[in-house]
Amino acid sequence: MKFLFPSLFLLIFSCFLCLSGCGGNTMSSTTSRQLQSITVTPAAATAQNTSRQMQFTAMGSFNMAPMSAMPQVLWSIGNPFSAMPTPGGITINQNGLASCSTFSGTVTIQATAPMDPAMSLMQMGMMTSNVAGMAQLTCP
């Protein structure tokens, strides 16, 4: 009788932990639409000599219908959350149009979006679940 109470307590406590930790969020994460990957096109490009510009597009792949769509993305030169400085003389606008003004060389273009399509780009940060796609741009 003396050992029955602690054993019963441990059994009930273990069941509680399993119910609260093992299945708490599983249902909601598998039933909501989520962005799985982003493909940036063209994957590698050289800015045109006359305009020194290149247009990039992003296509998202989702876990539920519609399976592919053009998500709203944050365009950046490299990782938008990195503390590393980006080279001067190159920009990319919110529509994916990259411009090389004084920069010559190759950079990584990145399109980043939150995994949850209901989350706005303004809410996205380093600690949110994000998905990114990349391409290479060469400025002549």
pLDDT band of residue 49 (cuts 50, 70, 90) is confident
CATH superfamily of 34-139: Immunoglobulins (2.60.40.10)
- pLDDT 10s digits, 99-130: 999 999 999 999 999 999 999 999 999 999 99
Phi, psi for residue 6 in degrees, rounded to 5? -65, -35
Residue listed under structure tokens 């080279």: 87
Query: Are the C-beta atoms of residues 47 and 103 closer than 8 Å to each other?
Result: no
What does the domain layout of the chain look like in residue ranges? Answer: 1-31, 34-139
Q: How confident is the model at residue 14 (pLDDT cuts 50, 70, 90)?
A: very low
Q: In this prediction, what percent of the chain has a pLDDT beyond 90?
A: 71
The percentage of the chain sitting over the pLDDT mark of 70, rounded to a whole number, equals 78
- For residues 42 and 138, the answer to whether their CB atoms sit within 8 Å is no
CA distance linking residue 75 with residue 58, whole number of Å:
9
Asked whether the predicted pLDDT for residue 62 surpasses 90, the reply is yes
